[in-house]
Every structure is written in C-alpha cells, then in structure tokens.
Amino acid sequence: MAPRLLFDITGIDLSRVEVDAAGIEQINPHRGVMRMLDGINYVSSDLNRAVAYRHVRPDEFWVEGHIPGRPLLPGVLMVEAGAQLASYLTKLRMKDMQFMGFVGIDDVKFRGQVVPGDRLLLLCEGIEFRMRRSICIAQGVVRGTIVFEAKITGMPL
C-alpha cells in the first residue's frame, strides 16, 4: 500500500508564508547552515500540525561531496528538517521550554531523492506532548511524492 500524507493539505495555501526564517529563529535556535527550515506555511489552531518548507540550493555545504556529480540531500538532513519542525511545534505548545533536544528517531523510511533545486515540503503532526517528552511524526514531500517519514522524539534539555 502506498504511503499517505499525515493529513490533508489541499486546503492549505502552500504559497503563503505564515512564518519566515527570522520568525522561525525566534523559536528555534538553529542558525546558518544548520537552519533547515526556510518558512512555515501553516500551523493548526490546536498547535498539533504544521507544514513548512526548505529550498534545497545548489550552493549548500553537502553538494560537492555527497555523491559527486549527482548530489542528493543526505537523509540525515531531511530528518533534521523534520526534527526542527517538530521542535518548533512543541515549543509553541510549551511556551516555557528553552531548548528541545532531538533524542530519538524511529520508523524512518526514505522513499525518494531530494536534489538541489527541489522544494522540500515538511509535514509534522504531534502524537504526544508532555513536559519531559514530545513525539511527532514528520514527512517530507517533493512534487507530491513522500520522500521520507520518521517518528521523532524530543525532550527539553
């Protein structure tokens, strides 16, 4: 059975940027080449779902060395982008949290390639939000195809 999106995104305007990079940096600590989110398109009113994006550029640090002549966005960076969206969503829910650490990934599947020039759409849905732990499911989508999915666990550090 083909994988399905975490939730229906047909009603979400994916051209609308709800939160830009500067707004993301007000919540998440990632800067420079380690900020994996370029913008957020949607956050549900219950703070349980979010959609974000990343423009995969040809000048990124990994392009030259990650499969020379055929650069692919490393899977670990796809998962990091999902973890950053999970962190953003968790910190919106738990306003007093200073830092959300990435402590586990489970059920990871890579289903497609992401190359320079792609727009990686990220979906995130919360499964559990507690003071000592959050669990979210993240997916990456390029041109309508799911390219990765993972269950991401974080905790305040």
Any idea which residues carry the catalytic annotation?
66
34: DSSP letter: G
Q: How far apart are CA 121 and CA 144, in angstroms?
A: 9
Q: Under 8 Å CB-to-CB from 40, ≥6 apart: which residues?
A: 17, 18, 19, 23, 24, 50, 51, 52, 85, 88
